[in-house]
Amino acid sequence: MLSGSKFLRLLGVLLAFVLLAAACGDDDSDGAVATEEGADAESDTSADPDTDTDAEADAGEEPEVPEEPAIDPADIDNTDTTTKPTVLVPDRDAPDELVITDIVEGEGTAIGEGDFAIMQYVGITYSTGEQFDASWDRGSSFNFVIGEGNVIEGWDEGIPGMMPGGRRELIIPPDMAYGEAGSGSGAIGPNETLIFTVDLIGFIPADRTQPEVSIPDAPATELGITDIIVGEGLVIEEGSTAVVHYVGASQASGEIFDASWGRGLDQFIGLIVGEGQVIEGWDQGLIGMAVGGQRELVIPADLAYGEAGAGDGVIAPNDTIVFVIDLIAVIPPPEELPVLDTAEIDPEDAEAETEPDVESDPAETEPEETE
């Protein structure tokens, strides 16, 4: 199982194989600004034997760069939310008020003020059509609380009402963006209208916090599934990618041994259900859960850590364990997913990334005891 940021970086890799991008980490800047050409292109001064004189006359002149053909808006289909959208400037004057257009509506409960949003986006300037920032290019999501002024006003007002899996275009006038000053980096000029295409991967409701866990009086002999909150969004099926928060407890000790919530709202985790990335109780117990839901899994030892236990005794041999899981987002399984050649990923690069310590995720490693 992967941490939020590592998970979304992996999704960025899988996107090349038609899965999804998404991780995670707050981004306070106005983004990765496309750099301008730092130097003029060098002219080719090698003379053709038949055109020596012309070559010498043209020496020092910059070669003409052919213009890229214009993109026909009719050729653009931004309804595939597993790929980075193409953002174009409309053929009309910039509006003086916020314009909201839903490209894909999403499913489930709508996000509102105070909720913790997990987003992807692309932004361009209206005057030039040039991209100034895109979370897709960084391979990480952009996360923030709606309505707290952590983002420009056009986002705080333009994102509420979106549903998980939704994609929306925002055309934001200067007074709801960076105004007369422009952005600090200079990527966005004074009085610039902005166009964003934003994707809501999922969100954590403002009233959702780490849940309590009920400990059964006796060990379980079969998997117990109880929906505490029934979600209204996309439903997990085998092969779906699930984004979750969780808390886990031991029946034998009655103590919580791990909780992603305790590491922060942005420390959600991701897994592909049914791929053996987690204990069998999770692979079986998550099927049928809908986004926005909260589910209790009471998992017998044979679907958990068995006779060996885990965590140096934190989970005892033959221990029943209880998880309460909150489902933040679901990415449906692709129709056909090519094999990812992990040999192409440099382990030294992976080690170099600064990641939170999530060795207690209930899958690849044993849990750590929490107070």
Round to whole Å and give the CA distance between 323 and 283: 13
Round to whole Å and give the CA distance between 315 and 311: 6
Round to whole Å and give the CA distance between 310 and 149: 44
User: What single string gives the DSSP state of each residue in 192-251?
Assistant: --EEEEEEEEEEE-TT--PPP-PPPSS--SS-EEEEEE---S-B--TT-EEEEEEEEEET
Q: In sequence order, which residues have a C-beta less than 8 Å from that of residue 80 and are 6 or more positions away? A: none
Q: In sequence order, which residues have a C-beta less than 8 Å from that of residue 299 and are 6 or more positions away? A: 220, 223, 224, 279, 281, 282, 285, 320, 321, 322, 323
Four-CA torsion 131, 137, 138, 144, nearest 10 degrees? 60
What values do phi and psi take at 13, rounded to 5?
Answer: -70, -45
Q: How many CB atoms lie within 10 A of CB 257?
A: 22
Q: In sequence order, which residues have a C-beta less than 8 Å from that of residue 174 and are 6 or more positions away? A: 180, 190, 191, 192, 193
Q: What's the token pair of residue 248?
A: 């886990």
Catalytic residue numbers, as ranges: 121, 132-133, 152, 178, 196
Query: Does residue 233 contact residue 201 with C-beta atoms inside 8 Å?
Result: no
Angle at the Cα of 145 (from 142 to 150), degrees rounded to 5?
Answer: 75
> In the beta sheet, which residues pair with residue 177?
none
The position carrying tokens 């895109």 is 134
